[in-house]
Structures are given as structure tokens and as C-alpha cells.
Amino acid sequence: MTDAYVAIEGGRVVEARSRAPGTTRGELVFTTAYTGYEESLTDPSYEEQILTFSYPLIGNYGVRAERFESDRVHPRGVVARELTEDVAEWLESEGVPAVDHLDTREIVTGIRDEGAMKCGIAAGPDATEEDALAELEQCKHMSDHTEIGAQVSVGEPEVFNEDGAGSTVALIDCGAKGSIIDSLVERDAVVHVLPYDATEDDVAAIDPDLLFISNGPGDPENFEQTKTLVDSYVGETPMAGICLGQQVVASALGGSTEKMEFGHRGVNQPVRDLRTDRVVMTTQNHGYTVAEPGDRLEVTQVNVNDDTPEGLENDDLDIITRQYHPEANPGPNDSLDFFDDVLAMVED
């Protein structure tokens, strides 16, 4: 039964089945992950996007809140070949439109050929093609979401593992996944989560051993205050970053970033360490990347598929960043030692 429509940039409209009703719009992207759908759907990095799953069946092991990366679903809409009742009911309860019974292979191929595209969705018994096209017409480019940090960041500082005996970490929340906090707490760090627009005084009040810039959605060039923090503390406080955090650090230190055609989103992205020649499999979710690292950062890891920078470091300034997600659940776990390396840098 056709009761949903997906309008894609260029004017093409795809018929589908409604699984969670509503109208929505966002940047149409895809993930190749075949597990971890709960983690993907609650990843703040998918804010303002329509998430397409390339794997055909989503929901085959249920929905459990303990696997969530945040307290809500972040994609503006969901597209799949088949969604189970568990996932469909969860998305409906969150007010996130979802559709299935369409050819996701064609959508994924289109994104790979043409790049991430604007998209509009209309789903439900009264939905029309015109409704989906109206949503598409209102869709903005990701870089135009200039205040996206405010949509995903904490409003007030939070502290985790306050009585821990390890390093004190100031985590700048640009859309941090819960697993990053968990990975630091597991190593007995005291984690102060600060808003994305925290000031130098906010950080100074904590007097951290480590400044950590989190992952997050959108264009890193829109995180101006976060870049100011990096510039203020470089050389004074050890620094780490993941995903958007790597891009922000590079931009703040004289590098440049750029929009990718369709990004890296999945759980099987191969990364090569240039110092050890070791290849690890990684989880990734980003649509922007570092174009040039600048003179102050060394590229230490690259993506095997396209040579984009996956790791940046400066041993003298005590900086380690990664474009991928070492903390990713449900895996792979090849790069969990990133957190050990970062905290060892602090101790040294």
C-alpha cells in the first residue's frame, strides 16, 4: 500500500509505505551498518538528516534503551527496505516519520553517484506527493544550519564520575555520543561535559588535564566558539577530538575542512596507521572532512578507500584526534586503545 512519498533533490518522488506518520525534511544520507541501528538512530551526528539504512531488515533484535547513545532519536526521518514493528512503534512514539517498502538500493546508489541530497518526506493516510515536494522545497543545505550545535548540546554543565581518581576531562559537547563519556569513565576519568559554546572561563574553572572536543552534526566551520577554545588552550592543555572534533581542531589550528560527496557512514571503514602500517576497521559517521591539516598537525592515519585524514597528531603540543569513532557500539573494537593513548598522553 502506498501511503508515503519521498521527494529527492531534482524533483524525483519515490512511493513507499508509511511506518511512522508525519512530514519532514533533511539531508538524505545512508549508512551501511548491518547492526547498531539503535545507536545510529540516537547518534546526535544525524541531526537534520534523513537516514537511509542500506541493510534490508532493521529491527531484528528489538529496541533496548540501554543501547541508546543519547536521550532521543536524532535523524529527522528514517528510510528502510523493511522496518520491524518494534522500530516503527519507537519512531512513531518519538514523532520521527519513517517509511519502508521502497528500493533502498536505488536510493543508496543515487547518493553514491550524485552525493548527499536534500529530501522531503510525507507519510500517513493523508500524505500526498505535493506534501513531500513542499518539504523538499524548504530543506536547507547542512552548512546553513548555523546553530545546529544548540540543538544537540547540553544546556548546562554536567559531571560524570565526580569521585574518580583519574584525569579531569573537559568534554565540549558538540553532540557527544554517550559511549565517549562511558569510555572515559571506564578509565576512571572525571568528565565535565560543557556546552558547545562554553567560554575560556568555563573551562578554566574546571582546570582540566584534558580538553576533549566531541563529535557532532553539521559543518565544523559553524562551531566558532569551540574553535576559539582550541586556539586558547593549544600548547597549554593536552587536547583530543573525535569526528567533528578532529575537524574543529584542524580548522582552529590553520587547517581547512570541506564537504564530502556522500561521507563515511558505516561500521566497516578501513583505516591505515602511517606510523605502524596497521589497518583497523572503524565505525564512522561524518559528511565533512579535513581537507588540509595545516602546518601544526601531522596526518598519522588515513582512510584506505579515499586517503582522507583519519588521525591527526602533534606530539609537542599533546594533540591526538580521530575522524572515526573509537568508542563505537556495537563495534568494531579495533581502536578502543585511543582512549588509553589519550589518557597516557595526559599522564606523561
**In angstroms, what is the C-alpha Rg of the chain?**
20
Give me the residue label for grid cell 546553530.
147
Specify whether 327 is catalytic. yes
Q: Which residues of 91-121 are buried (b: 16+ CB within 10 A; e: fewer)?
A: bbebebbbbbbbebeebbebbeeebbbbbbb
* Residue 10 annotated as part of some ligand binding site: no
CA angle 112, 117, 123 (to 5 degrees): 115
Separation CA 133–CA 88 (nearest Å): 23
Of 119, 139, 174, 243, which one is the catalytic site residue?
243
* Residue 124 annotated as part of some ligand binding site: no
* Residue 244 annotated as part of some ligand binding site: yes
Q: Report yes or no: 265 and 285 within 8 Å, Cβ to Cβ.
A: yes
Separation CA 42–CA 20 (nearest Å): 17
**Residue 34 — φ and ψ, nearest 5°?**
-105, -10
Q: Report yes or no: 149 and 61 within 8 Å, Cβ to Cβ.
A: no
The SS3 call for residue 155 is: coil
Give me the residue label for grid cell 528510510.
79
* Residue 216 annotated as part of some ligand binding site: yes
* Residue 288 annotated as part of some ligand binding site: yes
Separation CA 105–CA 109 (nearest Å): 6
Separation CA 17–CA 124 (nearest Å): 8
* Residue 247 annotated as part of some ligand binding site: yes
Cβ atoms within 10 Å, residue 181: 22
Separation CA 190–CA 158 (nearest Å): 11
What are 172's strand-pairing partners? 194, 213
Of 47, 135, 313, 327, which one is the catalytic site residue?
327
Enclosing H/E stretch for 37: helix 37-41
Specify whether 325 is catalytic. yes
Which triple of cell numbers denotes residue 117?
541530497
Enclosing H/E stretch for 211: strand 210-213
What are 8's strand-pairing partners? 12, 119
Specify whether 243 is catalytic. yes
Active-site positions read 243, 325, 327
> Can you say which residues are annotated as belonging to the binding site for L-glutamine?
45, 216, 218, 244, 247, 285, 287-288
> Can you say which residues are annotated as belonging to the binding site?
45, 216, 218, 244, 247, 285, 287-288
